[in-house]
Structure 1
Amino acid sequence: MERISIPLQLRVVQSQPGLVEQNGKWSTGLCECWGDMDDCCCAFWCLPLFVFKTNRAAGGCPCLPLLDCVGCGTAASLAMRAAVRERYGIEGDVCSDCFYGCCCYPLSWCQISREIKRQAAVRANAISLSSSKTHYTPLVDLDHVHLI
């Protein structure tokens, strides 16, 4: 019986798909609500629901938005804005998060929502591109081989 030699090809993942160069800036400005009118309208007509929805999409504690409702300042806004900045490498500090949370509360939540959506879309696009480039080679070439 003849032994078949098969070349082994290994693919090494050197970086995770979907990581985005952010350049330390938000993908949209604070007042760029026209880019996502659904979120803008939802935030305008029912801000508590929008805050809860955005907090949930970001993976935050479900009870965190309740702190804003009971008058504990803007704890949820501050925490979520800081978490999103940290996760995506966006420049800023606690003072700017507090300022935007206090003075531009609905706009800040809309910006957080747009950033989460953009990062998710970029990650999904990168994953689909990397999976479409994958070419599998068969383990054994069975041409002209009799199994029995």
Structure 2
Amino acid sequence: MDRESPPLLLRVVRSQPGQVVEEEQWSTGLCECYGDMGDCCFALWCLPVFACKTSRAAGGCVCLPLLDCVGCVPPASLAMRAAVRERYGIKGNVFSDCFYGWCCYPLSWCQISREIKKRTAALSKKQSSSPFSLKSKTRNTPLLYLDHVHII
């Protein structure tokens, strides 16, 4: 007798246990520079260097923001904003990324920087409070610790 076996059902795990990935909004608004005045002033006085620092913190090429002077839509701002949005599950689309990159260029880079800082700080706090974290003499620091860090 030839019986057909039921189809094999596979369950795909998209995140590690304990990690919750939700679709959210940006943690700060576009014009909320008052929360991080150091970066706001840094972006105001030297935006190209600030954009390069933020690009590096996001895991992109340091020189990527230098391409923003090519064309009418800044490609690096668009790419970084979309990458950060995708990484953290923030609602939005390429049209909003393009709009903010074109109309609110410095504010967009400041918002990206604040988002990376907040998410990195939350992740390091979560990891340090984890019951599985190793209690040793060495101090666990996140890979991208950006509070009060400036290149200059």
TM-score, with normalisation over the residues of structure 1? 0.73
Which residue of 2 is the match for residue 28 of structure 1?
28
Runs of 4+ in structure 1 over 3 Å off: 69-73, 131-135
Q: Which runs of 5+ in 2 are unaligned?
A: 1-15, 136-152
Give me the identity figure in percent.
Answer: 67
**Number of residue pairs the alignment of both structures matches:** 120
Which residue of 1 is the match for residue 17 of structure 2?
14
Which residue of 2 is the match for residue 55 of structure 1?
55
The code of the aligned residue for 1:117 comes to: K
- Specify which structure has the higher proportion of helix: 1
Give 1:68 deviation, angstroms.
0.9
Is residue 96 of structure 2 the alignment partner of residue 93 of structure 1? no
Alignment partner of 2:90: what SS? coil
Distance 2:133 2:106 in 1: 41
Q: CA RMSD of the aligned region, Å?
A: 2.1
Greater C-alpha radius of gyration: 1
Give 1:14 deviation, angstroms.
2.6
The code of the aligned residue for 1:15 comes to: G
Change (3 A) 1:133 1:81: closer
Which residue of 2 is the match for residue 144 of structure 1?
none
Distance 1:38 1:71 in 2: 30
Q: Which runs of 5+ in 1 are unaligned?
A: 1-12, 136-148
Give 1:61 deviation, angstroms.
1.7
